[in-house]
Amino acid sequence: MDSIENSVSNAILLKPEENVLIICDKPRERIAKMFSEVCEKLGAEVSLVRMNVREETKREPPKPIVAAMKHSDLVLGITTRSLTHTEAVRMAKKTGARVATMPGITDEVFPALGVNYKKMAKFCKKVAKFYKKVREIKVEARLGTNLILGCRGREVQIDDGILNHRGSLHNLPAGEVGVAPLENSANGRVIFDICAVGVEKIKVPIEIWVRKGKIIKISGKSEAKKFKHIIEKSDKNAKTLCEFSIGTNSSARLIGRVLNDEKALGTCHVAFGDNLSIGGKNRSKTHLDGVIKSPTIWFDNKLIMKNGRFVD
C-alpha cells in the first residue's frame, strides 16, 4: 500500500474530488481495489469497472467503458492486456483525461512503484538529451543482438510516470526513455533474453531477424512459437519494429514481467506493432515488447551504454 500511495500521490498527482475511472479485469481486480481504496482515501470520486480479459489482438474495451473514459479526469487501466496503444486511450487523452496503464501488474511489481519519481524524472531528462538530433541507433548484446535503426525527426518519449497535465499518458511502474523508429529503418537481429509480451519469463531466447523494419524470421523454442503466433494472428503491421526504449527505474528488479523489466535500469527493449501513441505512424492491433539485458548502445556512433551501464 505504501508503494501504491507513493504512485498515486507523486506520479498520478491525484487531486481531491477528481473523477477517477479504474478499469480492471478479474485477474487484476484485487490490485484495482487497492488503488481504489487509496484514491478514495485521498478524496477522489472513484468508479471501478470490470471487463472481460481481452485477447492480445482485441484490446479495445467495451463501448460503455470507452464512453466513461472520455468523461473522467483520471483513468487507471489495471488490466491483463495493455490499454496503452488503443483508440480508447487516444480518445480519452484528447478529451483531457490523464491516463496511467498497468498491464499485467502483480505484487512483484510493487517495489518499482515505490521509486522516487522526482529523482527518476530528473534522470529521464538526462537520458533524453542523448536522443537529441540522433539519426541512427545501434544496439548490441552478449547473446547476439545486433540491430541498427533510424529515428531522424522522431520526438523522444519520456515515461517518468508523472501525470502533470491534461491528456498525459504513462505506464506504471514508469521509467523509460525511447523513440518510435522510422518504420522502414530497422535492420539486423534482436534477441529477447528476459521477457516478452505474451511470453513473460524467457528460458530459451527468442531470436528475431528484421529487414527494412519488418520481421522476416523468428526462431527459438516454445517462447518463440508463442510470440510468433501472436504476430501471425494479428495484422501485417504487427511485424513492424515500432519502438526502442531504455530503462531508467533504479527500483525495478528483473522478475520476468514486461511491465516491470522494461523499466529496469540496465535494460533496453524494442517492440513490434502499433506506435501511434508514441509518435509513430504504424497502426496495428498489437504492441509487443521484448526486453534485452545489459545492452551496448551507440547513438550516431557515440557510445552511450556499455553492457547495461551508461557511459559518462
CA separation for the pair 284, 271 (Å, rounded): 12
Per-residue b or e along 31-45, where b marks 16 or more CB atoms closer than 10 Å to that residue's CB? bbebbbebbeebebe
Grid coordinates standing for 213?
Answer: 523494419
Q: What is the dihedral of CA 38, 65, 94, 274, to 10 degrees?
A: 100
Q: What pLDDT sits at residue 65?
A: 98
- Pairing relation of β-strands 187-192 and 146-150? antiparallel
pTM of this structure: 0.93
% of the chain with per-residue pLDDT over 90: 97
Q: For residue range 174-202, list pLDDT tens digits in order.
A: 999 999 999 999 999 999 999 999 998 99
**Residue 42, SS3 per DSSP:** coil
Q: For residue range 18-60, list pLDDT tens digits in order.
A: 999 999 999 999 999 999 999 999 999 999 999 999 988 788 9
Q: For residue range 245-264, list pLDDT tens digits in order.
A: 999 999 999 999 999 999 99
Q: Where are the domains of the chain?
A: 2-105, 117-310
CATH fold of 2-105 reads: Aspartate Aminotransferase; domain 2 (3.40.640)
Provide the angle, in degrees to the nearest 10, between the axes of the packed helices 117-128 and 2-10.
60
Q: What pLDDT sits at residue 200?
A: 82
H helix or E strand, kind and range, residue 17: none
